[in-house]
A and B are shown apart, each in its own frame.
Chain A
Amino acid sequence: MSEMPVNEAPVLSVDNIAKAYGGVQALGGVSFEVRAGELLALIGPNGAGKSTCFNVLNGQIRPDAGTVRLAGRDITGMPPRAIARLGVGRTFQIAAVFGSLTVLANVETALAAARGKSFGLWRPQAGMAREEALALLDQTGIAALADRPAAGLAYGDVKRLELAIALAGSPRLLLMDEPTAGMGAHERLALIGLVRRLAAAHALAVLFTEHSMDVVFGHASRVVVLARGRVIADGSVEAVRADPRVRAVYLGHAGAEART
């Protein structure tokens, strides 16, 4: 499909994807790209289509039209597990981890899956990738919790653990749906700072949605604004902040949104 060499392709390129639910157009032709090392914030008022967009990218929802390419390869309509194996990590708006496993086993399980060893029936999983798992926990700052059951973690630590699980697949692209939701201001900035460092260190492309503007404007490399399923702005933080349409559609609705 792609005429240009793969190494020049953006990590993610979304082309005109559309999705409707029973007559309601959740996404009406959305296009954007994310490049390696970049932190792209996808923002917009509630119901703008951010979550639908995420679920399309990750394979949970099949779009009605449009294509999603990962490093030039068409991944539209692939199931989530296949997309994950191609190097897309994801975190969820309500952080999901494997509650009945220890923190370490959470990451080890994700590592085994990434290496296609989930069907290993005989050798115990513990010890197969202990060092790598501990390294990931170290990077996300929760190595001290390795032996704790995941079900008992504080929410901020759950978010970090989920990030470690997502990183276990050595992703090229990290999709983070509201990575800092439910966290205090200090924790929030610490987490997004961590993501930024990791992105730089591993040349990761990061796409995240976010409600808190201090995170967006303080850390994103670029911002895409969605409203009613369409992209209304795509540019640098400063350009988007200055864009009158964004101010009208997005910030103007901030008050209304608070009431809903």
Chain B
Amino acid sequence: MLTSPEAKRGNNRVSRGEREKHAAIGSLALATRMFLGFTKLEPRVRLLPKPCRDPKETRVALDALAFQMINGLASASGLFFVAAGLSIIFGVTRIVNMAHGAFYMLGLYLAVTLADRLPGPFGYWGGLLLAALAVGLLGAAVEVLLLRRIYHVPELYQLVATFALALILNDAALWIWGPEDLLGPRAPGLKGSIELLGRRLPDYDVFLAFAGPIVLLALHLLMKRTRFGRTVRAATQDREMVAALGINQALLFTAVFALGAFLAGLGGALQTAREPANLNLDLAVLGDAFVVVVIGGMGSIPGAYVAAVLVALVKALCIALGTVEIAGWAFNMTKLTLVAEFLVMALVLVLRPQGLFGRPHGAPARGLASEAPLRPMGGTGRGLAGAALAATLAVPLVATAWAYAPVLALDMLIAVIFAASLHLLMGPGGMASFGHAAYFGLGAYGTALAATGLGLPTVPAFGIGILAAGAGALVFGWFCVRLEGVYLAMLTLAFAQIVWSVAFQWEEVTGGSNGLIGIWPDWPFDSRTGLYLAALAVTVAALSLIRRLIFAPFGHALRAGRDARLRAEASGIDVARIRWLAFLVSGLIAGVAGGLYAFAKGSISPETLTVGRSIDALVMVLLGGLGNPAGPVLGAGAFTLLQDTVMRETDYWRALLGALILALVLLFPGGIAGGRLRR
């Protein structure tokens, strides 16, 4: 463990040593200050006059606002580093890198560790760079050893692989660094602050505010002036062209992944002076980075910077305004920081579907048109389905010997319905959703509120939950179906986050972060077996409905729109409307899963609406296989069973789950149920 007493003593030594001025760093800070023309305050020497205190003053002063805006630039730079890396990786490889937050987190952990061990300012700053380089190397290794094996399958499988990797990296960090937060030392030479607008702005914030644009400029030069940069730009615009130009694509992808990981590591390392390394950072940062990349336009580096500034400024504004009165209502604007970035993203995507600086791009780079045509079930298929039904019907019989069976089987059924609803959207619909939990959660909340708040019996409450989910899908779908590919996926995520934040904060109705409890079903659904059998009937009904739909003209039109949108339009198919209907149906069925969940657990919380739940569903669908209607059933069953099993087996269950998912992806590229007819 690196949290040994020696490490801590080492840190103290560094901080004592920092008191002396160190030429290189000092001059950078000095230059910054000279450029700004601000007064320098020595660390720990308070020159500020006591601010005059006027109790009448409640309005936010203009200078306070201005200061917060400048302050926001430092946060913007932090966001930019990690977002730029993500954007470059996506631009060239089309990989939605779920491990990007983990790279950031590792950069911070490594930098804190090195800063504690390497003496002096050179050690500190050198350590930061070393940490970032190490993460870059890790990125290269990941690309070579893992991602390269699965480039031939649809891009979303790389999302699953990097998601599994993120699980493993998080547990690796826990294993190496232990559970306690590690606060690194402050940056030597930049411990003081400057005076600005009567307030003190830390030197380090000034440094960060400049570091962002400097890295932006460096990346710009790299992209414009070097052969590597030109290749990257060419590949971002047209990947096929790169292959045609005879460029070594494998090497390019490795280099790009390493560069992206390096930037994430650098972003993390530069936070050493600002926040403790901890195990929650990976997910927190990942969300922010995605939002910034999407607002800026995927693949656009200047876009990422502008978006980072925009998000940081909006947050700074919310914080600076504090509690404001609107039409007699006092509203605490700081609460908006919970979801501000997602509000900005939703707004940008609705107005400009390709982000601020992105290019409109048509169909996703590699579709699923190679999947096998749907055929009515043959003898084997019917046999398997019958056997599966018989097995699920038999579960209550073993319940006397194994009471846990219906409990686990019920969770599997709920997962199956949820995954099947997402599969309708992603498979036949060709629309990946990163925010499907919105409809699951709306179903759960609708059901719970109808059952507890309105006191309705089980069945009508369930119906209301389903309608609530459908209403959400109807509204959000209208906006989403206008978009394509990752932008569509991100808009679904933005809507899900907005719903989540409402559920999270609307204490009086939704119970806030604690949620609602005491949502148990009436007779005959109040026993484990009763609820299980009801859920089984609902599952069979939902799966049959989906199957009907995809064999009906609607399902064919949906697939037609996915395979060749222009062709479908030219044949008179209203693709947007067909997709909207698919969204609605998918939302309704997700609501079914959510309603069952509420009754199965007896309680719900905003957790039903989180990104984590959306990602779980995504992984289930992809694990199962996009191109086969049986995919979500197998994927959801396998995922739930795996998770339940590994959680019992080891403390490091996340890593084990990640490793198992990776193994599945490598063994069955394209999903357990196959679904790839040919390449």
Given A80-B566, A113-B572, A152-B678, also A100-B549 (CB < 8 A): no
Q: Are B569 and A80 in contact (CB under 8 A)?
A: yes
Q: How far is the CB of A80 from chain B (nearest CB, A)?
A: 4
Complex: chain A residue closest to B371, CB-CB? A100
The CA-CA distance from A169 to B570 in the complex, in Å, is 10
Residues in B with CB closer than 8 Å to A121 are 548-549, 552, 554
Q: Are B556 and A109 in contact (CB under 8 A)?
A: yes
Q: Are A109 and B560 in contact (CB under 8 A)?
A: yes
Q: How far is the CB of A226 from chain B (nearest CB, A)?
A: 22
Complex: chain B residue closest to A95, CB-CB? B567
Size bin of chain B's contact surface:
35 or more
Q: How far is the CB of B57 from chain A (nearest CB, A)?
A: 53
Q: Are A151 and B548 in contact (CB under 8 A)?
A: no
Residues in B with CB closer than 8 Å to A106 are 560
Complex: chain A residue closest to B571, CB-CB? A110
Complex: chain B residue closest to A149, CB-CB? B373
The CA-CA distance from A128 to B373 in the complex, in Å, is 18
Which stretch in A36-44, A69-77, A84-92, A239-247 binds the other chain?
A84-92
Complex: chain A residue closest to B551, CB-CB? A124
CB-contact partner of B570 in A58, A101, A125, under 8 A:
A58
CB-contact partner of B559 in A101, A114, A126, A166, under 8 A:
A101
Residues in B with CB closer than 8 Å to A97 are 563-564, 567
Q: Which of B540-593 contact A (CB under 8 A)?
A: 548-549, 551-557, 559-560, 562-564, 566-575, 577-578, 581
Residues in B with CB closer than 8 Å to A128 are 553
Q: Mark A201-243, 1 if CB is under 8 A from B, else 0.
A: 0000000000000000000000000000000000000000000
A58, A85, A105, A151 — most chain B CB neighbours (10 Å)? A151
Q: Are B557 and A109 in contact (CB under 8 A)?
A: yes
Question: In this assembly, does A21 line the interface, its C-beta being within 8 Å of a C-beta of chain B?
Answer: no
Q: Are B572 and A98 in contact (CB under 8 A)?
A: no
Q: How far is the CB of A92 from chain B (nearest CB, A)?
A: 7
The CA-CA distance from A132 to B669 in the complex, in Å, is 39
The CA-CA distance from A119 to B584 in the complex, in Å, is 13
CB-contact partner of B567 in A92, A102, A117, A125, under 8 A:
A92
Question: In this assembly, does A6 line the interface, its C-beta being within 8 Å of a C-beta of chain B?
Answer: no
Q: Which of A158-206 contact B (CB under 8 A)?
A: 162, 165-166, 168-169
Question: In this assembly, does A96 line the interface, its C-beta being within 8 Å of a C-beta of chain B?
Answer: yes
Q: Are A149 and B570 in contact (CB under 8 A)?
A: no
Residues in A with CB closer than 8 Å to B376 are 126
Q: Are B554 and A119 in contact (CB under 8 A)?
A: yes
Q: Are B559 and A81 in contact (CB under 8 A)?
A: no
Complex: chain A residue closest to B559, CB-CB? A100
B370, B376, B552, B559 — most chain A CB neighbours (10 Å)? B552
Given A96-B567, A98-B559, A125-B553, also A118-B677 (CB < 8 A): no
Size bin of chain A's contact surface:
35 or more
Residues in A with CB closer than 8 Å to B575 are 81
Q: Mark A42-86, 1 if CB is under 8 A from B, else 0.
A: 000000000000000010100000000000000000011100110
Question: In this assembly, does B201 line the interface, its C-beta being within 8 Å of a C-beta of chain A?
Answer: no
Question: In this assembly, does B372 line the interface, its C-beta being within 8 Å of a C-beta of chain A?
Answer: yes
Question: In this assembly, does B638 line the interface, its C-beta being within 8 Å of a C-beta of chain A?
Answer: no
Q: Mark B360-379, 1 if CB is under 8 A from A, else 0.
A: 00000001111111101000
Residues in A with CB closer than 8 Å to B563 are 97-101
The CA-CA distance from A80 to B367 in the complex, in Å, is 22
Q: How far is the CB of B586 from chain A (nearest CB, A)?
A: 13
Q: Are B373 and A102 in contact (CB under 8 A)?
A: yes
Q: How far is the CB of A76 from chain B (nearest CB, A)?
A: 17
The CA-CA distance from A250 to B571 in the complex, in Å, is 33
Q: Are A119 and B572 in contact (CB under 8 A)?
A: no
Q: Are B578 and A119 in contact (CB under 8 A)?
A: yes
Q: Are B552 and A100 in contact (CB under 8 A)?
A: no
Q: How far is the CB of A103 from chain B (nearest CB, A)?
A: 9
Q: Which of A109-165 contact B (CB under 8 A)?
A: 109-110, 112-114, 117-126, 128, 149-152, 162, 165
Residues in A with CB closer than 8 Å to B552 are 120-125
Q: Are B572 and A109 in contact (CB under 8 A)?
A: no
Given A100-B563, A125-B552, also A113-B373 (CB < 8 A): no
Residues in A with CB closer than 8 Å to B581 are 119
Q: How far is the CB of A71 from chain B (nearest CB, A)?
A: 17
Q: Are B570 and A90 in contact (CB under 8 A)?
A: yes
Q: Are A112 and B557 in contact (CB under 8 A)?
A: yes
Q: Are B572 and A81 in contact (CB under 8 A)?
A: yes
Q: Are A168 and B571 in contact (CB under 8 A)?
A: yes
CB-contact partner of B370 in A92, A99, A123, under 8 A:
A99
Q: How far is the CB of A253 from chain B (nearest CB, A)?
A: 26
Residues in B with CB closer than 8 Å to A100 are 368-374, 559, 562-563, 627
Q: How far is the CB of A150 from chain B (nearest CB, A)?
A: 8
Q: Are B570 and A118 in contact (CB under 8 A)?
A: no
The CA-CA distance from A149 to B370 in the complex, in Å, is 9
The CA-CA distance from A118 to B572 in the complex, in Å, is 9
Residues in A with CB closer than 8 Å to B556 are 98, 101, 105, 108-109, 112, 125
Q: How far is the CB of B564 from chain A (nearest CB, A)?
A: 4
Residues in B with CB closer than 8 Å to A169 are 571-572
Residues in B with CB closer than 8 Å to A80 are 566, 569-570
CB-contact partner of A118 in B551, B574, B627, B678, under 8 A:
B574
Residues in B with CB closer than 8 Å to A99 are 367, 369-370, 563-564
The CA-CA distance from A117 to B562 in the complex, in Å, is 18
B562, B566, B571, B678 — most chain A CB neighbours (10 Å)? B571
Q: How far is the CB of B495 from chain A (nearest CB, A)?
A: 24
Q: How far is the CB of A55 from chain B (nearest CB, A)?
A: 9
Q: How far is the CB of A160 from chain B (nearest CB, A)?
A: 14
Residues in B with CB closer than 8 Å to A102 are 373
Complex: chain A residue closest to B556, CB-CB? A109
CB-contact partner of B560 in A90, A101, A123, under 8 A:
A101
Complex: chain A residue closest to B372, CB-CB? A149
The CA-CA distance from A118 to B372 in the complex, in Å, is 21
Q: Which of B387-432 contact A (CB under 8 A)?
A: none
Q: Are B578 and A114 in contact (CB under 8 A)?
A: no
The CA-CA distance from A152 to B677 in the complex, in Å, is 10
The CA-CA distance from A88 to B330 in the complex, in Å, is 59
Q: Are B571 and A114 in contact (CB under 8 A)?
A: yes
The CA-CA distance from A97 to B560 in the complex, in Å, is 8
Q: Are A98 and B553 in contact (CB under 8 A)?
A: no
Q: Are B559 and A118 in contact (CB under 8 A)?
A: no
Q: How far is the CB of B234 from chain A (nearest CB, A)?
A: 20
Residues in A with CB closer than 8 Å to B371 are 100
Given contacts A79-B569, A101-B373, A121-B552, 8 further A-B contacts (CB under 8 A): A58-B570, A99-B367, A106-B560, A108-B556, A109-B571, A124-B551, A125-B555, A151-B370
Q: Sorted from nearest, which 6 A-B pairs have the closest CB atoms?
A: A99-B369, A96-B567, A84-B572, A96-B564, A120-B553, A118-B557
- Chain B positions near chain A (C-beta within 8 angstroms): 367-374, 376, 548-549, 551-557, 559-560, 562-564, 566-575, 577-578, 581, 627, 677-678
Question: Can you give 7 contacting A-B residue pairs, CB < 8 Å?
Answer: A89-B570, A92-B570, A109-B557, A110-B572, A120-B552, A122-B548, A152-B678
